[in-house]
Amino acid sequence: MVERQSPLEPVLQVGSHGNFEHGVDIILSETQPGSILQLAAWPGEEKKLISVIRTVTGLALPDGAGGGSTDGARSVFGFAPGKFTVVDEAEGLVSAFAGAVTPAIGTVTDLSHGRTAIRIAGPKAEWVLAKFFAIDFALPAFPVGAGRSTVHHDVFAQIQRTGADQFDVYVFRSFARSFWKALCHASEEVGYEVQ
């Protein structure tokens, strides 16, 4: 398998930055999942696709957009009606879905080489992300496992809450470096650490 290079390498500077005299309230990192897939169901086939996703991943997935689930190594969330993002630390998840998602049910698209996964964690993660996206990031409105699809200045982003104070943001590789810089700048005020 071809080794993927991070588009963030030139700008990812490990350490503490910004106003961190009183500690850091944000932890930024790039996660490098082995598989990032988009699954889409044909109209009327959504329940069959959800059933396949549950079977292959072993994760609970509520019906409808926005719902999701994560176990740390694997996650899934709906981001639009009949459309889901599935992420796994291991490579090769596409082959598990290729046989299970028949052409009558929908499509499987491997986005692993086209997306960058950025994790933002810490007590001010909701606050920093709210600077970018017009979404209610409060825990009751955006529960753990749930996902959203949105944009920031024409940069398409998919966001999944993977912990009480943790979010994974998936952006196009071509926009990853500029989005990372903007995220770092937005985090300076509260102090951030890059891991």
The CB density around residue 160, as the number of other CB atoms within 10 Å, is 25
116-129 tens-digit pLDDT: 999 999 999 999 99
Residue 150 to residue 10: CA distance in whole angstroms: 26
For the CA atoms of 96, 116, 38, 36, the dihedral, rounded to the nearest 10 degrees, stands at 10
Where does the pLDDT of residue 111 fall: very low under 50, low under 70, confident under 90, or very high at 90 and above? very high
Question: Hey, what domains does the chain have and what are their CATH numbers?
Answer: 15-32+114-194 (3.30.1360.120), 35-110 (3.30.70.1520)
148-191 tens-digit pLDDT: 999 888 788 999 999 999 999 999 999 999 999 999 999 999 99
Q: Which of 57-66, 135-144, 159-168 has the lowest mean pLDDT?
A: 57-66
Answer whether 0.75 is exceeded by the pTM.
Answer: yes
Which pLDDT value is given to residue 1?
Answer: 52
Position 19 pLDDT exceeds 90: no
Residue 86 to residue 126: CA distance in whole angstroms: 23
